[in-house]
C-alpha cells in the first residue's frame, strides 16, 4: 500500500488534490485507481482465506465483491473515516460507507469506476477520476488497518499520509494480539469466523 500512496503523491505534484479537480482523469490517475482497487481485493482475499471462507479456500481466483462484502461487518469497514493529512481539501474519506451486500460492486463508486475503466478503457476512461483514485487508495489503507491495526501499519509500513477521523471501537477480543506465553509456549485460541 505504501508504494501506491507514493504514486498517488506523485499525481498530486501535477493535479492539486481538491474538490475543484476531483473529476480530473488521466493515465497515471487510472493506474493508481487500478493498483489500489486490486490491493483491496488482495487484502480482503487474504482475510477470507485466513478465516476459512469456503470459496476462498477452494477457488480463490474466482472471488468477487459478492464474496468480499461479507467482511464489511466483521472488519467494520463502513465505519472508518480518513482525511489526507497534507491535503484536507479532498474532504473526509469513507470509501466503504455505502457498501451494500445487495449491490456489492455498484454501491462503491470507486470500485464501480475501477471495473468500468478496467474492462472498457476507451469508453470509460473518464471514470478513472482523482476522486475515485483517492477513495480507492483510502480503501486499501483501511483494509490493511482493519486487518492489522494502526500500530503495525504506521510502524512497519511508515504510512502516515492518512489520518483517521473515526476508528471503529473494536473490543480486545476483536483484535489480533501477541500470544500469551504460558510455560514458554505461546497460547493461541483460533477463532474461525466462517464455518
Give pLDDT tens digits for 103-158: 999 999 999 999 999 988 888 999 999 999 999 999 999 998 888 876 555 555 54
Nearest CA to 40 out of 102, 131, 127, 132 is that of: 132
Sites in the chain below the pLDDT cut of 50:
158
The H or E element spanning position 83 is strand 81-84
Q: Return the ∠ at Cα 38 (arms to 177 and 2), rounded to 5°.
A: 60
C-alpha cell at 156: 512497519
Question: What do you get for the CA distance between the two ends of the chain, in Å?
Answer: 30
Could you give phi then psi for residue 119, rounded to 5 degrees?
Answer: -85, -25
Number of neighbouring beta carbons within 10 Å of residue 111: 26
Q: Who contacts 138 (Cβ-Cβ below 8 Å, separation ≥6)?
A: 82, 93, 95, 162
pLDDT at 177: 60
CA–CA distance, 27 with 6 (Å, rounded to integer):
16
pLDDT at 175: 65
User: Could you tell me if 132 and 93 are in contact, meaning their C-beta atoms sit under 8 angstroms apart?
Assistant: no
pLDDT at 145: 87
Angle between helices 150-157 and 130-148 (to 10 degrees): 110
Amino acid at each position: 500500500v505504501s508504494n501506491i500512496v507514493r504514486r498517488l503523491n506523485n499525481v498530486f505534484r501535477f493535479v492539486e488534490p481538491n474538490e475543484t479537480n476531483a473529476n480530473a482523469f488521466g493515465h497515471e490517475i487510472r493506474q493508481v485507481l487500478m493498483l489500489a482497487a486490486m490491493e483491496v481485493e488482495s487484502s480482503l482475499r487474504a482475510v477470507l482465506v485466513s478465516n476459512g471462507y469456503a470459496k476462498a479456500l477452494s477457488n480463490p481466483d474466482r472471488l468477487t465483491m459478492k464474496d468480499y462484502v461479507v467482511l464489511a461487518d466483521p472488519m467494520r469497514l463502513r465505519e472508518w473515516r480518513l482525511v489526507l493529512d497534507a491535503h484536507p481539501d479532498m474532504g473526509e474519506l469513507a470509501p466503504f460507507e455505502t457498501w451494500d451486500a445487495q449491490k456489492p460492486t455498484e454501491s462503491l463508486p470507486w470500485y464501480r469506476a475501477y471495473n468500468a475503466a478496467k474492462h472498457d478503457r476507451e469508453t470509460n476512461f473518464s471514470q478513472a477520476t482523482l476522486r475515485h483514485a483517492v477513495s480507492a487508495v483510502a480503501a486499501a489503507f483501511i483494509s490493511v488497518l482493519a486487518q492489522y491495526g494502526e500500530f503495525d501499519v504506521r510502524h512497519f509500513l511508515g504510512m502516515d499520509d492518512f489520518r483517521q477521523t473515526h476508528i471503529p471501537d473494536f473490543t480486545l477480543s476483536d483484535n489480533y494480539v501477541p500470544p500469551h506465553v504460558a510455560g514458554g509456549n505461546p497460547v493461541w485460541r483460533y477463532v474461525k469466523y466462517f464455518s
